[in-house]
């Protein structure tokens, strides 16, 4: 079967950047930075970027390009007996789509709520009570929550309409619209955030380094975790995207562009979000750290509160913010769905289109669990295990296999060099990705496990 290719050189980079930039940049990066020493976190973050993020990106691009397949097919071509390892990221990607779509659905609803000012003064009660309909019990699920389910259906329909057109007509064209749109939205949001009264306080808080945190192992682990999740490495996403590249394509260059665009975008988002948090602190006369709650709460509870007290046009900025979340989320979602669809198509000899239809039906049904009244409870649990074990363990397996089991580190680097303008440094790859990263990842998984068992 003829494999589709990207129509243009920028199409691939935009798709890779689209996958990388996601919900993780807009709400996760700001609060992870804040919780891990503010300005001091940037050092471990940059070290993680250059010792693990970029090397893995280069390897994943090289694997996909050299072996021309989704993760399972590429691994089968490396060695028959390792194909099963390639199905692991496919399974994790599939599970992530089930709740990633639900968070995008919340953002769709909230874009609408922003315009209609639907959340009122009690934004917490609105989110957990009126919107999610969270029950006191874990089981039974309490049935579908219609407000969430309707938005979820819209998200899946949008994903289907993009993907059924295939790689270049669907994914590539969508990202060519999504990425410029997202950049414009984010520039508007950031400019507004940093020019709000009190913004400086928030930015001070974000960037005042707490140097003592540098000696805290958890901070380093958080930095590596954020880099893996944020760059979409370890899930076969970048392997699959690179498998659609034409023969000549500068892999190394594209890896650097993707990584820098992703981090630049994270920085932009952090500025905007913390500017707004500083504004909120000043308006309410409370310290900044009392406003800066993390995770789900930041986007869907704290942000609506901030918008409520906006000097002007709060509804419009709220709308733009949630639309930015939707766009960032959709471009990451299609990269995850693509991993599953392409892997199934590669394995069972059905067409890409048939695989896309099948994956959408099954994943839609699965995602309904997270659109029930108890959905948030399940979402928290599944997300915790995916983040702590799923992604880190696959990343660990990947570097150990490349360097120490298959020993294809040299050939992969040669392959990247053969299509690139510049040569990647072998000592850098070996020391950082081959030695340091496996040690750190082992510690990360071990510590997370110990904390869960305690």
Positions that interact with Na ion (CB under 5 A): 20, 24-25, 230
Q: CA 38, 44, 47, 48: dihedral to nearest 10 degrees?
A: -100
- Rounded to a whole number of angstroms, the minimum distance from the CB of residue 410 to Na ion is 30
- Rounded to a whole number of angstroms, the minimum distance from the CB of residue 25 to Na ion is 4
The yes or no reply on residue 25 touching ligand PHE (CB under 6 A) is yes
Pick one of 13, 15, 20, 167: the residue that binds ligand PHE (CB under 6 A).
20
- Rounded to a whole number of angstroms, the minimum distance from the CB of residue 386 to Na ion is 15
Q: Which does 387 bind (CB under 5 to 8 A by kind): Na ion, ligand PHE, none?
A: none
Residue of 283, 219, 251, 224 whose CA lies nearest to 46 = 224
The yes or no reply on residue 332 touching ligand PHE (CB under 6 A) is yes
Q: Please tell me the distance from the alpha carbon of residue 234 to that of residue 245, in angstroms, as a whole number.
A: 19
**Structure-block tokens of residue 147:** 């407000």
The yes or no reply on residue 51 touching ligand PHE (CB under 6 A) is no
Q: Judged by CB under 6 A, which stretch of 8-16, 17-25, 77-85, 248-256 contacts ligand PHE?
A: 17-25
CB 272 within 8 A of CB 189: yes
CB 25 within 8 A of CB 328: yes
Q: Judged by CB under 6 A, which stretch of 16-24, 36-44, 115-123, 210-218 contacts ligand PHE?
A: 16-24
- Rounded to a whole number of angstroms, the minimum distance from the CB of residue 71 to ligand PHE is 12
- Total residues in contact with ligand PHE, by rule CB under 6 A: 14
- Rounded to a whole number of angstroms, the minimum distance from the CB of residue 136 to ligand PHE is 31
Distance of CA 287 to the CA centre of its chain: 30
Instruction: Output the CA torsion sign for 437, 441, 299, 329.
Output: positive
Q: Please tell me the distance from the alpha carbon of residue 326 to that of residue 100, in angstroms, as a whole number.
A: 11
Q: Which does 249 bind (CB under 5 to 8 A by kind): Na ion, ligand PHE, none?
A: none
**Structure-block tokens of residue 130:** 């009126």
CB 163 within 8 A of CB 339: no
The yes or no reply on residue 403 touching ligand PHE (CB under 6 A) is no
Q: Please tell me the distance from the alpha carbon of residue 430 to that of residue 254, in angstroms, as a whole number.
A: 20
- Rounded to a whole number of angstroms, the minimum distance from the CB of residue 328 to Na ion is 8
Q: Which does 71 bind (CB under 5 to 8 A by kind): Na ion, ligand PHE, none?
A: none
Closest to ligand PHE by CB, 23 or 291: 23
- Total Cβ atoms within 10 A of residue 351: 11
Q: Judged by CB under 6 A, which stretch of 20-28, 52-60, 362-370, 437-445 contacts ligand PHE?
A: 20-28
- Rounded to a whole number of angstroms, the minimum distance from the CB of residue 247 to ligand PHE is 26
The yes or no reply on residue 182 touching ligand PHE (CB under 6 A) is no
- Rounded to a whole number of angstroms, the minimum distance from the CB of residue 268 to Na ion is 12
Closest to ligand PHE by CB, 69 or 329: 329
Site for ligand PHE in 218-257 (CB under 6 A): 229-230, 232, 235, 237
Instruction: Give the DSSP letter of residue 40.
Output: G
- Rounded to a whole number of angstroms, the minimum distance from the CB of residue 279 to ligand PHE is 25
* SS3 sequence of 110-156: HHHHHHHCCCCCCHHHHHHHHHCCCCCCCCCCCCECHHHHHHHHHHH
The CA-based angle 28-36-291, given to 5 degrees, is: 65
Q: Please tell me the distance from the alpha carbon of residue 82 to that of residue 79, in angstroms, as a whole number.
A: 6
Closest to ligand PHE by CB, 145 or 266: 266
Pick one of 335, 343, 372, 420: the residue that binds ligand PHE (CB under 6 A).
335
Closest to Na ion by CB, 260 or 449: 260
Q: Indicate the SS3 state at residue 372.
A: strand
Q: Please tell me the distance from the alpha carbon of residue 60 to that of residue 394, in angstroms, as a whole number.
A: 12
Distance of CA 406 to the CA centre of its chain: 28
Q: Judged by CB under 6 A, which stretch of 21-29, 34-42, 75-83, 430-438 contacts ligand PHE?
A: 21-29
Close Cβ partners of 62 (under 8 Å, ≥ 6 residues apart): 242, 251, 412, 413, 415, 416
Residue of 435, 49, 379 whose CA lies nearest to 229 = 49
Closest to Na ion by CB, 32 or 171: 32
Binding site for ligand PHE (CB under 6 A): 19-20, 22-25, 229-230, 232, 235, 237, 332, 335-336
């Amino acid at each position: 079967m003829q494999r589709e290719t990207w129509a243009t050189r920028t199409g691939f980079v935009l798709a890779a950047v689209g996958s990388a930039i996601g919900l993780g940049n807009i709400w996760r990066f700001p609060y992870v930075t804040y919780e891990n020493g503010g300005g001091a976190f940037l050092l471990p973050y940059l070290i993680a970027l250059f010792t693990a993020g970029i090397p893995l990106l280069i390897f994943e691009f090289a694997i996909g390009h050299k072996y021309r397949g989704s993760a399972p097919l590429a691994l089968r071509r490396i060695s028959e007996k390792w194909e099963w390892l390639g199905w692991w990221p496919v399974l994790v990607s599939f599970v992530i789509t089930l709740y990633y779509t639900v968070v995008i659905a919340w953002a769709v609803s909230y874009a609408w709520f922003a315009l209609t000012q639907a959340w009122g003064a009690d934004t917490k009660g609105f989110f957990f009570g009126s919107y999610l309909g969270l029950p006191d019990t874990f089981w039974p699920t309490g049935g579908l929550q219609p407000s969430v389910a309707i938005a979820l259906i819209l998200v899946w329909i949008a994903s289907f309409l993009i993907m059924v057109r295939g790689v270049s007509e669907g994914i590539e064209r969508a990202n060519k619209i999504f990425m410029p749109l997202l950049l414009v939205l984010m520039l508007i949001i950031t400019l507004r955030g940093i020019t709000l009264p009190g913004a400086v306080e928030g930015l001070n808080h974000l960037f005042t380094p707490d140097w003592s945190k540098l000696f805290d192992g958890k901070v380093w682990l958080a930095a590596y975790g954020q880099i893996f999740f944020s760059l979409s490495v370890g899930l076969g996403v970048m392997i699959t995207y690179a498998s659609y590249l034409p023969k000549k394509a500068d892999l190394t260059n594209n890896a650097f562009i993707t990584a820098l665009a992703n981090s630049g975008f994270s920085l932009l988002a952090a500025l905007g979000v913390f500017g707004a948090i500083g504004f909120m602190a000043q308006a309410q006369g409370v310290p900044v750290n009392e406003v800066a709650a993390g995770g789900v709460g930041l986007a869907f509870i704290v942000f609506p509160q901030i918008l409520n007290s906006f000097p002007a046009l709060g509804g419009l900025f709220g709308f733009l913010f949630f639309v930015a979340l939707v766009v960032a989320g959709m471009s990451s979602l299609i990269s995850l769905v693509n991993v599953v669809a392409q892997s199934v198509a590669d394995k069972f000899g059905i067409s890409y289109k048939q695989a896309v239809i099948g994956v959408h039906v099954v994943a839609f049904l699965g995602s309904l669990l997270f659109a029930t009244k108890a959905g948030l409870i399940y979402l928290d649990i599944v997300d915790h295990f995916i983040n702590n074990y799923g992604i880190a363990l696959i990343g660990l397996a990947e570097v150990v296999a490349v360097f120490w089991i298959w020993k294809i580190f040299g050939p992969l680097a040669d392959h990247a060099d053969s299509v690139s303008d510049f040569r990647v440094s072998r000592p850098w790859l070996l020391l950082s990705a081959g030695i340091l990263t496996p040690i750190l990842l082992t510690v990360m998984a071990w510590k997370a496990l110990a904390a869960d068992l305690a």
